[in-house]
Structure formats: structure tokens, C-alpha cells
């Protein structure tokens, strides 16, 4: 192998190894999946998604996420079983997993701790609390982890009337997109328009 080829190989390996691992969002409700994913992207993370526990295991194996946000009540395999399965794999023993759940009982807290969750938030999700918890768990893993700030500076919660989600739904309707689409799937022109509208939401609703 000549010197130039070797340098290119080193460069490619470095770029692959230095690419940030994603956050895996596991949620069977399309509205919540979209809202959580958009908000976590706003925090500064790359996001991958799954819609049930079985899919979460496959996506985790493919992407090796740095952190997992796991819904509990899901079809095929619930979040407790999925987390239990992940914790049997040495690759995922130290990956922080946060439960997102409507349950807030002593029995659930015990079950969550038993299968290996690192924390949990009850729905509706307070995204400022989620941001702080994600920062705390990832900073504990690595002192070099950047502490992401909420770009809006305000506290948002999941819910059907959350302003950001309503903006996305209108954007999808105007551009004949499925609401389950991700901003990462947009064409460059649509992605540019979406980024503009995020920062200038009132522009979209002017008549």
C-alpha cells in the first residue's frame, strides 16, 4: 500500500470512529415519537428511532447508541423486556437508558431499577428535565461530554397542542409529507425551509 492510500485509509477510519453515536428514541405513538425526536435533535444529538421493543433491539445493534429513551407500554415487546434484553449484552451494560412512562408507582420504580434503567420520567415529558438528566448521565460517563443547553430556553412538554409539533404538522401538510417523516429525510430545499420556520414560526402562520 502506498503512502497516499495509507493516509486516506487512516482518514476514513478516523472519520468513522469520530462520528458521534446517536440517541435512540423508542416510542410507539407517532406524535410522541416525532416530538421527542425533534426536541432531542434540538439539544444537539443525532437521533435514530424505533417503534417497539423488538425494533429497538435491532436498531441498537446497528447504531450502538450513546443513550436510549425507552417507552414502556409498547406492542410486540415492552420497554421493560427490551431493556432486560439489552442489559444481557456486554455492549449495552453501560449505555444509559431512561424510561419514559405514564406509570409512577413504587412497583414500577422497583421493576425499572431491577431491569437496569438509569432513570425515568413520567409523561407528559418535561423536556427541560429530560435535557438535564441526559446531560448528567452522559457527563458521568465521560468528563468530555458537552453540556447541551435548551435552544428555546423554555420548558416544553409532550402533548397534542405542543407548538413545535403543530408547526411540523402544518409544514408536512403544506408539502405533502407524512407526519411521521423526519427532518433528516427532507430534501436540501425543504430542510432549509424547515430550519427557517423553526426559528421564525410566526412567519408560517401569516395571512
Write the pLDDT tens digit of every residue in 103-160: 766 677 778 888 899 988 888 888 888 998 998 888 877 655 655 555 554 444 444 4
Question: What is the percent of the chain where pLDDT is above 90?
Answer: 27
The C-alpha atoms of residue 205 and residue 22 are separated, in whole angstroms, by 33
pLDDT digits (tens, 9 = 90+) for 59-99: 999 999 999 999 988 888 899 999 999 999 999 999 999 99
Amino acid at each position: 500500500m502506498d503512502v497516499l492510500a495509507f493516509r486516506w485509509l487512516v482518514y476514513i477510519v478516523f472519520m468513522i470512529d469520530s462520528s458521534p453515536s446517536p440517541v435512540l428514541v423508542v416510542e410507539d405513538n407517532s406524535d410522541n415519537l416525532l416530538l421527542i425526536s425533534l426536541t432531542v435533535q434540538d439539544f444537539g444529538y443525532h437521533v435514530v428511532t424505533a417503534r417497539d421493543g423488538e425494533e429497538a433491539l435491532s436498531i441498537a445493534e446497528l447504531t450502538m447508541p450513546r443513550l436510549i429513551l425507552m417507552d414502556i407500554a409498547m406492542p410486540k415487546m415492552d420497554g421493560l423486556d427490551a431493556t432486560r434484553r439489552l442489559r444481557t449484552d456486554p455492549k449495552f451494560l453501560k449505555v444509559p437508558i431512561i424510561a419514559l412512562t405514564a406509570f409512577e408507582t413504587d412497583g414500577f420504580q422497583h421493576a425499572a431499577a431491577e431491569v437496569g434503567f438509569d432513570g425515568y420520567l413520567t409523561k407528559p415529558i418535561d423536556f427541560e428535565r429530560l435535557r438535564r438528566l441526559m446531560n448528567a448521565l452522559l457527563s458521568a460517563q465521560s468528563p468530555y461530554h458537552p453540556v447541551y443547553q435548551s435552544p428555546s430556553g423554555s420548558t416544553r412538554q409532550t402533548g397534542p397542542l405542543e407548538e413545535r409539533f403543530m408547526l411540523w404538522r402544518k409544514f408536512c401538510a403544506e408539502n405533502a409529507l407524512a407526519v411521521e417523516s423526519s427532518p433528516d429525510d427532507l430534501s436540501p430545499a425543504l430542510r432549509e425551509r424547515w430550519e427557517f420556520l423553526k426559528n421564525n414560526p410566526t412567519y408560517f402562520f401569516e395571512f
